[in-house]
């Protein structure tokens, strides 16, 4: 019986090791989608080491917030096809603690100073990943036009 287990156990391990996911990496897919969007819209963006792409339209002035900051922002969030899923209106702004929002914002917002404006192209892994949200399909790249009104 022990000999049989010594034969079956390695076979099971080998079969599990051969079960590879040969599908494309979602990070690679997102990067290609973002780069295609930027090219199609003739936008020149910087790539952060995290995979976030960004355009600083107005840097603002003063210091930068950090992940523990409470930020007051105006923004418009939409998908690559232009579908808006969330936005502030007019002069309204919303307040958030950065540590409570998606990773893409935690990386992008600190690139701005008070009064700064920028666009963030957030790969799905820095947003909601494979989870669906209202108005946001799974594995969606998100785009945010953002103004950092103030922070503390």
Average pLDDT for runs of 10 along the chain of length 152: 49 47 84 98 98 98 96 98 97 97 98 98 98 97 98 97
Residue 135 lies in a domain: yes
Report angle CA 69, 72, 137 to the nearest 5 degrees: 95
Q: What is the pLDDT of residue 53?
A: 99
Q: What is the pLDDT of residue 5?
A: 42
Q: How many CB atoms lie within 10 A of CB 6?
A: 9
Q: What is the pLDDT of residue 22?
A: 60
Enclosing domain of residue 110: 24-151
Q: What is the pLDDT of residue 24?
A: 78
Residue 110 lies in a domain: yes
Domain total in the chain = 1
What is the CATH classification number for the domain harbouring 142?
Answer: 3.10.50.40
Residue 9 lies in a domain: no
């Amino acid at each position: 019986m022990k000999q049989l287990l010594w034969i079956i156990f390695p076979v099971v391990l080998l079969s599990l090791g051969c079960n590879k996911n040969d599908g494309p990496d979602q990070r690679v897919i997102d990067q290609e989608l973002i780069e295609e969007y930027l090219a199609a819209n003739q936008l020149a963006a910087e790539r952060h080491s995290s995979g976030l792409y960004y355009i600083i339209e107005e840097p603002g002035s003063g210091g930068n917030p950090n992940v523990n900051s409470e930020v007051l922002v105006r923004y418009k969030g939409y998908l690559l096809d232009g579908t808006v899923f969330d936005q502030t209106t007019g002069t309204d702004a919303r307040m958030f603690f950065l540590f409570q929002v998606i990773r893409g914002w935690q990386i992008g917002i600190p690139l701005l100073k008070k009064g700064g404006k920028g666009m963030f192209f957030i790969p799905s892994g820095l947003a909601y990943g494979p989870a669906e949200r209202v108005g946001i399909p799974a594995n969606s790249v998100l785009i945010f036009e953002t103004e950092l009104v103030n922070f503390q």
